[in-house]
């Protein structure tokens, strides 16, 4: 969160995952942050369902986007809230949404961007 607050250029990988008795599901997020506060962003949603004999994995890559990061103050507030999380305690709403996005028990859309538009995937 602090690196995003500072607009530190680089490649970031962020995984959000929810495990349950029959498997797990989540989202793998990849950002290439630029110094101007924009980021190339792509994500892949996955579901891993375990049965008694067969394990099924489905992955759904989504199209790349060019996004504008939210104001640095958003990431500062997230970092501060995340530092307050205590082991073995329920995570409060603000740090949860900062790390996992929308949703109560499973990963959702990250709230890290002001706006996004479709962008071709590129190598950077």
**Residue 102 clears pLDDT 90, i.e. is over it:** no
Interatomic CA distance for residues 106 and 100, integer angstroms? 8
The alpha carbon dihedral of 94, 96, 98, 103 has a sign of negative
Report, as an integer, the average pLDDT of 58-66: 82
Q: In the prediction, which pLDDT does 54 show?
A: 55
Burial of residue 39 (CB within 10 Å: 0-12, 13-18, 19+) is buried
The reported pTM is 0.78
Query: How does pLDDT run across 65-97, given as a tens digit for each residue?
Result: 999 999 999 999 999 998 888 877 776 777 778
Extents of the domains making up the chain: 2-118
Q: In the prediction, which pLDDT does 124 show?
A: 61
Query: How does pLDDT run across 36-53, given as a tens digit for each residue?
Result: 999 999 988 887 776 555
Please state, for a pLDDT cut of 70, what percent of the chain lies above it: 81
Q: In the prediction, which pLDDT does 24 show?
A: 78
Mean pLDDT of the chain: 83
């Amino acid at each position: 969160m602090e690196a995003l607050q500072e607009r530190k250029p680089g490649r970031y990988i962020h995984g959000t995952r929810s495990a349950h008795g029959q498997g797990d599901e989540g989202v793998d997020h990849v950002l290439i942050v630029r110094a101007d506060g924009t980021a190339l962003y792509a994500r892949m949603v996955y579901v891993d369902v375990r049965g008694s004999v067969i394990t099924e994995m489905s992955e759904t890559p989504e199209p790349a986007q060019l996004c504008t990061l939210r104001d640095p103050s958003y990431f500062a507030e997230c970092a501060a809230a995340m530092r307050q999380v205590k082991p073995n305690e329920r995570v409060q709403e603000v740090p949860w949404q900062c790390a996992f996005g929308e949703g109560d028990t499973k990963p959702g859309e990250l709230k890290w961007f002001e706006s996004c538009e479709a962008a071709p995937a590129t190598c950077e």
